[in-house]
């Protein structure tokens, strides 16, 4: 069921980031990955010009950026490149009901598994934030809105599900 039908999306009211169930001390905003499909240019008889054809379920690098205010131990918990990290971002999305004008809050959860690829230690400046950051290559992403899974991408296990539809099912069967 669509959440947005009578609702006007407003903002993310609040969110937290957890690593293996432990609250991480992140700051500001986390940059979620861009899902850019791998494509092939199709140019053939019967096709006017070119078409970029996406390869179903195949995406380029999927980076997540986790910022911190200062350099502290939580950052170093993310840097071990021999172990996959599982981050859970839990938030509350705020909507306004068109009919009543009431504010509604809807849960959103994003689960990300991956490994750190870039570790920026930030800066040291008296009286200012240091802004260190860890960038993670995500090989698993799951988005749950209002307790319904709307996206699950598992690069290592050949799974790509959108709104409950397994887009890789036929492909897995064929190979």
Domain total in the chain: 1
Q: Are strands 22-23 and 133-145 parallel, antiparallel or unpaired?
A: unpaired
In a domain, 106, yes or no: yes
Domain hosting residue 74, numbered range? 7-33+61-174
pLDDT in tens, 83-115: 999 999 999 999 999 999 999 999 999 999 999
70: CATH: 2.30.110
In a domain, 40, yes or no: no
In this predicted structure, what is the pLDDT of residue 61? 97
In this predicted structure, what is the pLDDT of residue 1? 40
> 56: pLDDT confidence band, cut at 50, 70 and 90?
very high
Alpha-carbon span 73 to 53, nearest angstrom: 44
Q: Are 19 and 85 in contact (CB under 8 A)?
A: yes
The partner residues of 87 in beta bridges, in order of sequence, read 19, 112
Alpha-carbon span 47 to 27, nearest angstrom: 49
pLDDT in tens, 11-23: 999 999 999 889 8
In a domain, 100, yes or no: yes
């Amino acid at each position: 069921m669509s959440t947005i039908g009578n609702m006007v999306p407003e903002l993310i009211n609040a969110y937290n980031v957890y690593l293996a169930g432990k609250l991480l001390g992140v700051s500001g905003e986390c940059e979620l990955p861009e899902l850019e499909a791998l494509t092939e240019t199709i140019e053939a008889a019967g096709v006017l010009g070119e078409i970029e054809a996406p390869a179903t379920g195949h995406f380029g690098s999927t980076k997540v950026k986790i910022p911190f205010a200062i350099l502290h131990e939580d950052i170093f918990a993310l840097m071990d490149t021999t172990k996959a990290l599982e981050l859970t971002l839990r938030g509350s999305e705020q909507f306004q009901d068109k009919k009543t004008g009431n504010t509604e809050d809807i849960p959103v959860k994003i689960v990300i598994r991956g490994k750190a690829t870039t570790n920026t230690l930030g800066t040291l400046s008296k009286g200012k934030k240091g802004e260190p950051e860890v960038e993670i290559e995500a090989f698993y992403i799951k988005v749950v809105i209002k307790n319904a899974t709307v996206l699950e991408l598992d690069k290592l296990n050949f799974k790509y599900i959108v709104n409950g539809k397994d887009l890789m099912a036929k492909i897995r069967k064929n190979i």
